[in-house]
Structure 1
């Protein structure tokens, strides 16, 4: 059985927790909730797929990737930073999704690749160059699948917003126009990882 590890730094100390679905993950400042077994299992399934993707293309970062589980409520941590080499869950935080993908009264959540839908698009993305826009520094996203290959023309980018809280919430948080939108404090950590990378990092959004 694959093992999932979570590593965080707290007051100069390194905490390591070994999780095999049944064990709890150590909760430290970077972590605000434990992953339930279903979320962990789904994450590992997508990690396996992304490992396969990057192994065939040296353009992509072989060490880390980002994952967003759209099945997790937006008020809970669902943006994951994963160490592909050592199978370590490095970080997690809140991320807002598109208004068009809000969960309606009937419980249905819609995803779309179409312009004007304001929806989140599922699929794998290559994180491109940064630019300064409405929300400050943001990163272009290049969709790699049929479900998100219009993301660049839709101006779907990875950006921050003061409207996204840092701490987990009991309910849904705000919405974007279709972009993955992070809390400003959490974004600083993600931004550093992107800028320090010499190759393109993959972002995988799934449900």
Structure 2
């Protein structure tokens, strides 16, 4: 990878690097060390139980390439290559090298039933949108405490705020719903998560955190 997390990981990701990049013989060697330690963190946190390695890798690649302005130590990743009956969302604290949260997450009802297969940035499509987001302000809405999302990718998710795509809790995003229906209920495009454990999660998910939503079709025309 290139220079990882130009803003986000400055002083954060280097806490997991065993060989400081200042001792590397070249920028390329430093980047190789950074990439190796990103995947070391993958192993440490046993993220394979929740998201694919490709989802994890693409998240860091996108953040590296996009270089968003963020000082948050947190990154959330949703892997829509997995069915909604499986846990497919994680929240990682890069500074503490901790997996703060992992859980089920709903996709939009226009995206599919058990699996999300279609994605859109169009208002009223009721489909999920892929790509990189910045977590916005906290507010109290019809679903209770929620976080607004700002899509950072033009024509892919940049209408998220216009579409009122937010992170919220919902009764239909619960293990009991899966037991009854074989899948989660679906949203109008929002990543909805279970009520259980939600209050702690939404408090941890600070403004300025980054969210990456993945599917194998991401970036393909």
Pick the TM interval, shorter chain.
0.7 to 0.9
| CA–CA separation in structure 1 for the residues paired with 2:77 and 2:71 | 15
Residue 4 of structure 1 aligns with which residue? 41
Is residue 80 from structure 1 mapped to residue 80 from structure 2 by the alignment? Answer: no
1:42-70 CA distances to partner (integer Å, 9 max, x unpaired)? 2430342255268662x341x11111001
Is residue 44 from structure 1 mapped to residue 53 from structure 2 by the alignment? Answer: no
- Tell me, yes or no, if the aligned pair for 1:96 and 1:181 is still in contact at 8 Å: yes
Greater Rg over alpha carbons, structure: 2
Aligned-partner SS, 2:110: helix
Residue 100 of structure 1 aligns with which residue? 110
Say what the alpha-carbon RMSD is for the aligned residues: 2.9
Report which stretch shifted further, 84-93 or 119-128: 84-93
TM-score, normalised by the number of residues in structure 2: 0.68
- Runs of 4+ in structure 1 off by over 6 angstroms are none
1:124-174 CA distances to partner (integer Å, 9 max, x unpaired)? 111111222111111111100020000100111111112221479463210
Query: Any unmatched runs of 5+ in structure 2?
Result: 1-35, 216-221
More strand by share: 1
Paired positions, count: 175
Report the CA distance shift for 1:64/1:54 in structure 2 as closer, same or farther (over 3 A).
Answer: farther
| CA–CA separation in structure 2 for the residues paired with 1:42 and 1:168 | 28
Is residue 190 from structure 1 mapped to residue 190 from structure 2 by the alignment? Answer: no
Report the CA distance shift for 1:49/1:190 in structure 2 as closer, same or farther (over 3 A).
Answer: farther
Residue 49 of structure 2 aligns with which residue? 35
| CA–CA separation in structure 1 for the residues paired with 2:162 and 2:212 | 18
